[in-house]
Amino acid sequence: MGSLALLAGAAAAWLAYRATELRTEMAAVSQLVPQFKEELLAKDNQAAQKTLDELQLHIDTARGAATDPLWKAAGALPFVGPNFSVTAELVLSADDVVDRAAQPMLGVVSSLDWQKMTPVNGKFDVAPLESSSPTIVAAANTVELTHARLSGIDDSGLFPEVSRPLAEATQSLDDLRQTLNTAADTSRILPAMMGAAGPRNYLVLIQNNAEIRATGGLPGALAVLHLEDGEIRLEAQSTGSAMGRFTPPVDVDPVQTQIYSKRLGTFISDVNLTPDFPTAAKAAKSMWEARQGSPVDGVIALDPVVLAHILKASGPLTIPIPDAVIASGLPTTLTEENVVKTLLSDVYKELDSNELQDAYFASASKEVFSALASGKVPGDHLLEALTTGAQENRLHVWSSHKAEQDIIGKTSIGGSISGPAAGGNSFGVFFNDGTGAKMDYYVRRSVQLMEECKTDGYSEVTVRVTTSNTAPMDAATSLPELVTGGGRYGVPAGTVQTNIVVYGPAQSHIETAHDNGTKVPFGSHIHAGRPVGMVTTSLAPGQESTVDFTFGKIVQHTEPKAVVTPTVQNVKDVILDKEEKACTAGTRTTD
């Protein structure tokens, strides 16, 4: 018995030693990981490699402890055994990520210089990205599988010393896998989309936020970009008004036609009354091809704020414009500071004809695209500008090539109203102009989610939309009819009419709608399994309204999030922090 007790004591002491060793080495790993990330983002490849070597040394030592025969045997013990096996799994997972993801990605970052992606003579060199794709995809797969493995571990019986690192590692891998998956998907489809495998044509919709539409604004200016083997050039330009009316309308999803009217398929300026960008893009493609006869491979939508981001990267651009436009006093040089105000407000005040307005827009668009092709915008700065536009929900892309669209559709840049990017406890708040003019430049909006009391296991969320008309009090006479609409659609000059459209999470119900505290009727629909509510507001200059939509029976228990139509405002000023309403258990908000 004494020998057995001695052996047991020795085994316990050895395991304690190994546990201390593991704790020390993995603590060092945790401290080095943020440092490695910073060095990688800073493109300090030499420092990143040194840090990665240190990481590997600590992981090698930890792996020696975690694969110790006695440690492995302890994993079979009742009750406490899972703590040993999970610790070993954490160490081996860290080894996999460093060896099969971090090290290869460091090599990719070292060879893939976005500065070198700056176009030369109108041509982007996409070869480095194309050749790096297999490495990026393999790294993403490694992280995805490791995350799935750790996520599947039952932590209910684990000691806090083990469950806490497990949760932290799982969360870190979740953040990393999303980044790597995006990089992998981009590397797989971007070269082909830029014409590496054959020429591509993309219809570009420049959305005018002064006349709001669900995805951003009225597509007034149109262009086609031709891409071939990385070379980019402006192929054609037109306007929404020049496209005219389509009789009969082009085919559009009948469910959305019922919600948003037949205008979806009748005018290209109305294809994005629906917030579902793939639907809008398909309709725009059909219209362009019917009128122009030239096929397009996809559709891109952006707004003047994205142009401002690009001008920040390029610097000021001088635009050639007709003498009649010069006489108006509009700037001949566009900058980051003046482009939004010029294109969304001043052009309508200073030019009294659609033809001159279209000419100014066309010239501005042409110069921006020419700057992209000429190399005036450094590749890394262009990437930053486009990334910012995408994060602000101002940039959307759709491809007619299924394999590409399957990937794009999973991301927020795809602008789909359903699918992974729009799933979970997601709310959508979208605006459509009902004035028939350019008054939305003067509108200020905010959106806030307010979580109500939970009942019967369901969540309840109120979506608060506050809208104010900041136009001059004498807008009816001081602003031109091109801006106010002059009452031609039944809305008094100076008044802003807006159709507010709010989407809730799938399977939830819209309980009530209130306008300035008064319960009001609302349009009710279902789109892609999501409830849709609509309320119309009309605001004279100086007026403000607060519309509340309350959604109940929400089965999703994740943090609620909101996607909002991009306006002339900074997104940070529109989407306010969530508010949680204090309540007593067993109660709920009522009218």
Ranges of the chain with pLDDT below 70: 1-8, 110-118, 122, 453, 455, 581-591
Q: What's the CATH number for 200-399?
A: 3.40.630.190
Of 298, 259, 301, the C-alpha closest to 282 is 298
What is the distance between the alpha carbons of residues 326 and 328, in angstroms, rounded to a whole number? 5
Structural domain spans, the chain: 2-193, 200-399, 423-580
What is the distance between the alpha carbons of residues 562 and 464, in angstroms, rounded to a whole number? 11
pLDDT for the residue 586: 45
- For 142-151, write each residue's pLDDT tens digit: 989 988 988 8
In one-letter notation, the amino acid at residue 187 is S
CA distances from 320 to 12, 233, 305, 328, 382 (A): 82, 18, 21, 14, 23
What is the distance between the alpha carbons of residues 31 and 89, in angstroms, rounded to a whole number? 19
pLDDT for the residue 12: 77
In one-letter notation, the amino acid at residue 502 is V
Residues in the chain: 591
Token pair of 468 as six digits: 């104010």
The DSSP element (H or E) to which 242 belongs, if any, is: helix 240-243
Show Cβ contacts of residue 98 under 8 Å, excluding neighbours closer than 6 positions.
52, 55, 56, 59
What is the distance between the alpha carbons of residues 378 and 415, in angstroms, rounded to a whole number? 27
Of 105, 249, 119, 133, the C-alpha closest to 191 is 133
Phi then psi dihedrals of residue 394, to 5 deg: -100, -5
- Full-model pTM: 0.87
Query: CB-based burial of residue 137 (10 Å sphere; 0-12 exposed, 13-18 middle, 19+ buried)?
Result: middle
pLDDT for the residue 337: 96
Q: What's the CATH number for 423-580?
A: 2.60.40
Of 531, 570, 220, 571, the C-alpha closest to 361 is 220
3-state secondary structure of 459: strand
In one-letter notation, the amino acid at residue 326 is I
pLDDT for the residue 402: 96
What is the distance between the alpha carbons of residues 237 and 243, in angstroms, rounded to a whole number? 11
What is the distance between the alpha carbons of residues 147 and 180, in angstroms, rounded to a whole number? 12
pLDDT for the residue 588: 46
C-alpha of 380 from chain center: 19
pLDDT for the residue 524: 97
- For 299-334, write each residue's pLDDT tens digit: 999 999 999 999 999 999 998 887 777 778 889 999
Cβ count near 89 (within 10 Å): 19
pLDDT for the residue 183: 83
pLDDT for the residue 112: 66
**Which residue do the tokens 């205008």 mark?**
263
